[in-house]
């Protein structure tokens, strides 16, 4: 049976995926197991890290990646997602999809006979969170029992973090203003997962309360792709949630700062924190490559 990764919850074996990613990063294994395999990559939205890391991952593992944008495929001229899925499945071994709508992600997976990997939609960003968990474990030596604070907009990245952190037994707190809280259904699901792994999930309004005693402080853009018409109101509401030196000092003194990138310096994060010694954002970006190699090997080769 094919294995789709539409949510971080579709990686119940995340710890094994991380172990494999670490082996690939250290050079203990090469991952050159995808000779002759192809990955179609559909991008409805812009990307730097996701596009480059998936393409390099396929190349380094002996396979090939094909970049597809709706503008220059028939998707942009009205071919349906279901027909596209059925056609691509006849050519390639897996499909990576960055979509506006999670419903389109589900539709593509439903009609594709090859595995579909969610490379970000309006609900989740599972590949990012796999790399994030790898990065936290690399810097902290463990995941279970750590406190992870996400501050800012309750968006796709926050959703996968709440779920992924709970899966790994981390205490996850989101500090978000009213109107920008994570989806209530996701929070409820994360709380249920946390209960099973002996941790907690919480959403609070005060960013200092969220960050207090945290081992990891995480933020993301205030204006996700697709939210561009709300720039002014978002900046107003989210300004008190900027991760700056003052907010970081509420966390543990050895806390790390994370951001999925791209960062908007001066908005959700100050230069001082982005460039400071607690920041691990570029390790985090690099780990996209290693974590996605492990995910590709898992879904393509099992
Ligand atoms: N973090 C992330 O997904 O970056 P890109 O949008 O550049 O792919
Ligand atoms: N939340 C951001 C993440 C970008 C990688 C967005 O969806 O635009």
Catalytic positions, written as ranges: 98, 125, 128, 220, 260, 288
Q: What is the pLDDT of residue 258?
A: 99
DSSP run (H or E) holding 116 = strand 116-118
In the CATH scheme, what is the code of domain 126-284? 3.40.50.1370
The token pair at 219 is: 């933020």
CA of 155, closest atom in ligand 2: 1
Q: What is the pLDDT of residue 302?
A: 85
Distance CA 192, CA 286 (A): 31
CATH top-level class of 8-124+289-301: alpha beta
- Please tell me if the domain spanning 8-124+289-301 has the same topology as the one spanning 126-284: yes
Q: What is the pLDDT of residue 35?
A: 98
Q: Report helix, strand or coil for 177.
A: coil
Instruction: State the distance from the centre of ligand 2 to the C-alpha of 53, rounded, in angstroms.
Output: 16
3-state helix, strand and coil shares in percent for the chain, rounded to the nearest 5: 50, 15, 35
Pick the closest to residue 213 from 272, 253, 270 (CA basis).
Answer: 253
Strands 216-219 and 171-175, bridge-based pairing = unpaired
Instruction: State the distance from the centre of ligand 1 to the C-alpha of 195, rounded, in angstroms.
Output: 31
For ligand 1, atom 7, which residue shows the shortest CA distance?
48
Nearest ligand to the C-alpha of residue 282?
1
Distance CA 93, CA 231 (A): 39
Pick the closest to residue 258 from 234, 237, 242, 279 (CA basis).
Answer: 279
- Delimit the domains of the chain by residue range: 8-124+289-301, 126-284
Q: What is the pLDDT of residue 178?
A: 97
* Per-run averaged pLDDT (10 residues), the chain, 302 residues: 97 98 97 98 98 98 97 95 98 98 98 98 98 99 98 98 98 98 98 98 98 99 97 98 98 98 98 98 98 98 90
φ, ψ dihedrals at 238, nearest 5° = -100, -10
Distance CA 36, CA 38 (A): 7
């Amino acid at each position: 049976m094919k294995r789709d990764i539409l949510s971080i919850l579709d990686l119940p074996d995340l710890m094994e995926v991380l172990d494999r990613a670490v082996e690939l990063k250290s050079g203990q294994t090469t991952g050159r197991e995808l000779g002759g395999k192809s990955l179609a990559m559909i991008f409805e939205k812009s990307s730097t890290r996701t596009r480059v890391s998936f393409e390099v991952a396929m190349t380094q593992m002996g396979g090939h990646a094909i970049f597809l944008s709706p503008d220059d495929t028939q998707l942009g001229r009205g071919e349906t997602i279901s027909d596209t899925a059925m056609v691509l499945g006849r050519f390639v071994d897996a499909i990576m999809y960055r979509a506006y709508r999670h419903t389109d992600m589900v539709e593509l997976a439903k009609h594709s006979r090859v595995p579909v990997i969610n490379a970000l939609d309006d609900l989740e960003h599972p590949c990012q969170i796999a790399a994030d968990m790898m990065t936290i474990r690399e810097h902290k030596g463990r995941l279970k029992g750590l406190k992870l604070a996400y501050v800012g907009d309750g968006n796709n990245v926050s959703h996968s973090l709440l779920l992924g952190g709970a899966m790994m037994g981390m205490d996850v707190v989101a500090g978000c203003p009213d109107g920008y809280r994570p989806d209530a259904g996701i929070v409820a699901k994360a709380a249920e997962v946390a209960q099973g792994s002996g941790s907690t999930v919480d959403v609070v309004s005060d960013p200092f309360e969220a960050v207090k005693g945290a081992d990891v402080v995480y933020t993301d853009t205030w204006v996700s792709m697709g939210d561009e018409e709300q720039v002014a109101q978002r900046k107003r509401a989210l300004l008190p949630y900027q991760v700056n030196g003052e907010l970081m000092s509420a966390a543990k003194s050895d806390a790390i700062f994370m951001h999925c990138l791209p960062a908007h310096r001066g908005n959700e994060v100050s230069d001082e924190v982005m460039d400071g010694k607690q920041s691990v954002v570029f390790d985090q970006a690099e780990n996209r490559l290693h974590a996605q190699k492990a995910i590709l090997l898992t879904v393509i080769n099992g």
